[in-house]
């Protein structure tokens, strides 16, 4: 199994990787297939109308996650990693007024956001909780192209055919997972990862680097890692600089700037409590997730809903840890991606599949491993730190209030960052030997997610989402 660092860490927009980035990516793919005439099967100029429908979790929490906006942006040709905010708003307003998409090779195609974008609140589609259908018609109402897409978490999207093929052949390539052939260290489990490390004498980050460099080369890899951290760092900075009310109707205030200001005022003073370091971790994470909730640019880490944990712990490493270095940040990112890849490959990073244990739990495990590696931990200590962090998120539900990635999501990222640092510290105090292997913990998360009722898996039909204040 090989999952790239840049499959786990993808630049995109908020508020959700599965509910915003995924539908946008699916719509772009469908648009590209239309302009190609599905490889010559029909004349693109015959396309007259497109309709879309959202199902399961995409329907129930789609409004809060801006899934409808994402579909429209995708059909307008915008990709998650390259959204010009001003141009996007201009094109969305034009679409609302005209109900017409201007599509290359197709011409003017009717798409009425009110009539042609349907939230289907019936049973979810059979293969995944995040389902979406897209259909294109000619002028006589005949179907030219129709397909079902599934947004499987972290911004990853597959078609129905691809998902069915994967069920028949678990090792099938679903875009993001490449065949192991040609990669020097293609570990598919933590046990394999540790054994490859012992056999080669390499650290986890060195093995991950070797895999990436076999495709990208050292120069491009370093540039891409720097770009990922750059977006994360900028996101923290924006979150710490802005105030106001987050969109969506909950009237949730941005708090990161005010907390950060107080922490700066207390720094170095006798009034600062020893536990203030937890406040620094929380405010870095909250800054990112407030930006995500506002639809800003973030990096999936491994998802948008959990995007604050890894950047917060990297910022903690850089600004608060002894002997931190730029190389240490690369080591952090490479190691964190290795752990995230194992979790995605063997369980899930999707809240709609396994609850928030798969999102913030996975992010916390990734951050713990990354910090442990950056601080010089052995491969065994790194694996132990990831297991500790993940273990103490098991059973966590995904129950966003009104489908918005705000309550409890923003604070939950802060708690995930704190747990990650604690897990790394505990692991570094040991020799790497421990009772519960990471592989077993990942499998436990998968089983727990399967047993969890759907109302606790990003549908906003249970948990905190239905226990709201009466006034």
CATH number for 180-466 (one of 1.20.1730, 1.10.4100, 3.90.25, 2.30.29): it is: 1.10.4100
- Mean pLDDT, to the nearest integer, of 110-126? 97
Instruction: Give me the residue spans of the domains in the chain.
Output: 17-168, 180-466
Q: Which fold has domain 17-168?
A: 60s Ribosomal Protein L30; Chain: A; (3.30.1330)
**Residue pLDDT, tens place only, 363-403:** 999 999 999 999 999 999 999 999 999 999 999 999 999 99
Phi, psi of 203 (to 5 degrees): -80, 170
Global pTM value: 0.91
User: How high is the pLDDT of residue 176?
Assistant: 47
**Residue pLDDT, tens place only, 183-216:** 999 999 999 999 999 999 999 999 999 999 999 9
**Residue pLDDT, tens place only, 142-154:** 999 999 999 999 9
* Mean pLDDT for the chain overall: 95
Name which of 71, 80, 110, 113 is nearest 231 in CA terms.
80
Taking the chain, what is the end-to-end CA distance rounded to the nearest angstrom? Answer: 51
pLDDT over 80 (residue 84): yes
CB 257 within 8 A of CB 241: yes
CB 216 within 8 A of CB 224: yes
User: How high is the pLDDT of residue 170?
Assistant: 56
User: How high is the pLDDT of residue 80?
Assistant: 93
**Residue pLDDT, tens place only, 273-314:** 889 999 999 999 999 999 999 999 999 999 999 999 999 999
User: How high is the pLDDT of residue 175?
Assistant: 46
- Mean pLDDT, to the nearest integer, of 218-222? 98
Distance CA 338, CA 465 (A): 33
Q: How would you class 89 by CB atoms within 10 Å of its CB: exposed for 0-12, middle for 13-18, buried for 19 or more?
A: exposed
């Amino acid at each position: 199994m090989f999952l790239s660092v840049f499959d786990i860490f993808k630049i995109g927009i908020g508020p959700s990787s599965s509910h915003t980035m995924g539908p946008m990516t699916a719509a772009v793919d469908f648009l590209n297939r239309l302009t190609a005439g599905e490889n010559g099967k029909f004349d693109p100029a015959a396309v007259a109308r497109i309709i879309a429908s959202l199902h399961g979790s995409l329907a129930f929490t789609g409004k809060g996650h801006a899934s409808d906006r994402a579909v429209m942006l995708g059909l307008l040709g915008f990709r998650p990693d390259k959204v010009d905010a001003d141009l996007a708003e201009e094109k969305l307003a034009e679409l609302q007024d005209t109900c017409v998409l201007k599509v290359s090779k197709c011409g003017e195609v009717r798409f009425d956001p009110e009539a042609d974008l349907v939230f289907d609140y019936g049973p979810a589609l059979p293969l995944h909780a995040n389902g979406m259908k897209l259909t294109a018609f000619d002028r006589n109402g005949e179907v030219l192209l129709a397909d079902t897409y599934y947004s499987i978490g972290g911004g990853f999207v597959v078609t129905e055919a691809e998902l069915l093929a994967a069920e028949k052949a678990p090792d099938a390539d679903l875009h993001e997972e490449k065949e192991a052939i040609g990669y020097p260290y293609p570990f598919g489990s933590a046990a394999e990862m540790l054994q490859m490390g012992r056999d080669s004498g390499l650290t986890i980050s060195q093995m991950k680097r070797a895999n990436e460099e076999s495709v990208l080369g050292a120069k491009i890899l370093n540039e891409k890692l720097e770009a990922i951290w750059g977006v994360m760092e900028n996101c923290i900075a924006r979150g710490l600089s802005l105030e106001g009310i987050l969109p969506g109707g909950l009237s949730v205030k941005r708090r990161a700037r005010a907390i950060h200001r107080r922490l700066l005022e207390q720094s170095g003073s006798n009034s600062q409590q020893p536990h203030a370091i937890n406040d620094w971790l929380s405010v870095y994470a909250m800054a990112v997730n407030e930006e995500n909730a506002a639809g800003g640019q973030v990096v999936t880490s491994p998802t948008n809903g959990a995007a604050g944990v890894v950047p917060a712990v990297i910022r903690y490493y850089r600004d608060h840890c002894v002997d931190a270095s730029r190389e240490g940040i690369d080591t952090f990112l490479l190691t964190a991606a290795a752990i995230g890849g194992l979790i995605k490959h063997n369980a899930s990073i999707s809240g709609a599949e396994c609850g928030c244990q798969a999102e913030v739990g996975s992010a916390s495990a990734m951050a713990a491993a990354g910090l442990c590696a950056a601080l010089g931990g052995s491969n065994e200590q790194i694996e132990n730190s990831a297991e500790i962090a993940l273990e103490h998120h098991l059973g966590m539900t995904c129950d966003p209030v009104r489908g918005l990635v705000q309550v409890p999501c923003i604070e939950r990222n802060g708690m995930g960052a704190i747990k990650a640092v604690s897990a790394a510290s505990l692991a570094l105090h040991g020799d790497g030997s421990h009772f519960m292997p990471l592989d077993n913990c990942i499998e436990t998360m998968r089983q727990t997610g399967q047993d969890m009722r759907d109302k606790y898996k990003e549908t906003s039909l249970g948990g905190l989402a239905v226990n709201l204040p009466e006034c």
